[in-house]
Structure 1
Amino acid sequence: MGNYKMAHTMIRVLDLERSLVFYKEALGFEEVKRRDEPTYEFTLVFLGDGNPNGHQLELTYNYGQEVPYDLGTAYGHLAVLVDDLEASWADHEAKGYQPTQPKGLSGDGKPRYYFITDPDGYKIEIIRN
């Protein structure tokens, strides 16, 4: 059996530039590589969190898509870790991303996570590292 590692997760986006702005401003992700395929009418943009060997988020933009994608009932959310949950929440609140109230799953009552939503409706869980 091979030594498997996560490579990327792909999501389809309606407006590539709007999504790039969101992921850069909200999460600090940076473009790692881009692949334009005009013959097949799509552009792929891979975003990373600064770890050159880490998991990436692939944004797929299909030319001519005019209506938002149906996210379906099987999709759950993306999850990212942050060192300072409270500062992250305050930043997302100030930028108008409408974060949910932080919640915790453990019995100590300490908030552990909250959610924001990207421009296409994908939920993103922000988790205390």
Structure 2
Amino acid sequence: MKMAHTCVRVKNLEESLNFYQQAFGFEENRRRDFPENKFTLVYLTLPNDSYELELTYNYDHEAYDLGDGYGHIAIATSDLEKLHEEHKSKGLEVTDLKGLPGTAPSYYFVVDPDGYKIEVIREK
């Protein structure tokens, strides 16, 4: 077995596509439209990675209530500080660099248009 994809429900497909493409370099891998059922699925991948992020767009749906149980997806980068500065310069909502108790900074979070928090971690 292997992981296939992670689904994120979005209220504005184009805004979310733009965010993931501009913030992280995701590329649209495939798209499945179901107009009769009023939803579209867009599968994104990072270059050289087959794991997919599925954006699910349900037509005419208002913002989703994320509640307090949502975890997060994590994206690893070889240059954490550089990407952190890029995200800040693009005006994205980002946290300061953080570390687990007693450790050096190794991650931060960036918030997507729907309020999902994406953890950006230092590649091991």
Q: TM range, normalised to the smaller chain?
A: over 0.9
| Residue of structure 2 aligned with 1:18, choices 15, 18, 39 | 15
Equivalent position amino acid for 1:117 in 2: V
Say whether residues 1:64 and 2:60 are aligned partners: yes
1:6 aligns with 2:6: no
Q: What is the RMSD computed on CA atoms of the aligned residues?
A: 1.2
Match of 1:37 among 28, 34, 37: 34
- Find out whether 1:117 has 2:114 as its counterpart: no
* 2:51 pairs with 1:55: yes
The counterpart of 2:87, out of the listed 75, 86, 92, is: 92
TM-score, normalised relative to structure 2: 0.94
Return structure 1 stretches of 4+ with deviation > 4 angstroms: none
CA distance in structure 1 between the aligned counterparts of 2:107 and 2:90, rounded to whole angstroms: 18
* Structure 1 stretches lacking a partner, 5+ long: none
Structure 2, unmatched stretches of 5+, are: none
Q: Partner of 2:118: helix, strand, or coil?
A: strand
Q: Higher Cα Rg: structure 1 or 2?
A: 1
- Alignment deviations for residues 10-44 of structure 1 (CA, whole Å, 9 cap, x no partner): 11100000000000000110100000011111000
How far does residue 72 in structure 1 lie from its aligned partner after superposition? Answer: 2.0
